[in-house]
Amino acid sequence: MSLQWIGFVLIAVVITGCAATSKYDKAAFYELRPRSILVLPPTNASIEVNAPYTFLSTISEPLAEKGYYVFPVAVIDQFLKENGLPTPDEMHMIPLDKIRQHIGADAVLYVNISDWGQKFQIISSQTVVRAHMRLVDTRTATQLWEADVSATQDSTSPNQSGFLAAVANAVADQIIGSLTDHTPGIARNANRNAIYNHSQGLPDGPYRDELKHP
């Protein structure tokens, strides 16, 4: 099987099983009404070492579009590292009152990544993103909102059938996958699904109306 022949295999990417479930205490949320959110680098239970910072690159935009001030994630990460907290696990242990005192955030978004990356098998490949998010008030330690985010992207060959075609498709996808990381796009879509969930998504922040009516 030559690489030239494999190159003619058509690759179709289909997102399957994409889901986001979320919940929050509406009374507590509307009583405390956070205006600013600090996103800590995620803790990571997956084998992909770059997962936390790939995730960070996808989360600020939907939060800001929802009407919240989001502290620059790269600046916060560097600030915490310079102050003796080199890992996300250590960052997640910071007392909330210290975050409010030194940074001024109204709420902290904690993220734990449970699975991440491309999974190659004999006749198939998948790209998986799974994480859990919790938004916690820095004044009272009240959990304001949480969401489970899960998305899987499968590769298929739409114009061929049979075992040999499936194997060729999987090999081609491994070659392409070694050069292209699909996780940022999948994570971006999954985060939006959670944040913009119709019934249980994150409520609009105080700057939402300003974005709607510049």
Query: How far, CA to CA in Å, does 73 sit from each of 17, 69, 79, 80, 109?
Result: 29, 12, 10, 11, 11
pLDDT for res 175: 52
Burial 162-181 (b: 16+ CB within 10 A, else e): eeeebbbbbbbbeebbeeee
Where is pLDDT greater, at 2 or 26?
26
Residue 166 pLDDT class (50, 70, 90 cuts):
low
Residue 154 has pLDDT above 90, yes or no: no
Q: In sequence order, what are the residues at sequence separation of 6 or more whose Cβ sits closer than 8 angstroms to the Cβ of residue 164?
A: none
pLDDT score at 198: 86
- With contact defined as beta carbons under 8 Å apart, do 37 and 109 qualify? yes
In angstroms, the Cα distances linking 182 to 43, 110, 151 are 20, 23, 11
Neighbours of 75 (CB within 10 A): 9
Question: Which of 152, 187, 184, 199 is CA-nearest to residue 21?
Answer: 199
Alpha-carbon gap, residue 130 to 206, rounded angstroms: 29
CA 36 to chain centre: 19
Residues 86-119 pLDDT 10s: 999 999 999 999 999 999 999 999 999 999 998 7
Predicted confidence band of residue 165 (pLDDT cuts 50, 70, 90):
low
Q: What is the DSSP letter of 42?
A: P
**Tokens 């509307």 sit at which residue?**
30
What confidence category does residue 211 fall into, taking pLDDT thresholds of 50, 70 and 90? low
Which residue ranges make up each domain of the chain? 16-204
pLDDT in tens, 52-90: 999 999 999 999 999 999 999 999 999 999 999 999 999
Amino acid in position 158:
P
The pTM (predicted TM-score) of the whole model is: 0.79
CA distances from 19 to 15, 127, 131, 171, 176 (A): 10, 14, 11, 28, 26
Alpha-carbon gap, residue 53 to 42, rounded angstroms: 8
Which one of 1.20.58.220, 1.20.120.1730, 3.40.50.10610, 3.20.20.150 gives the CATH number of domain 16-204?
Answer: 3.40.50.10610
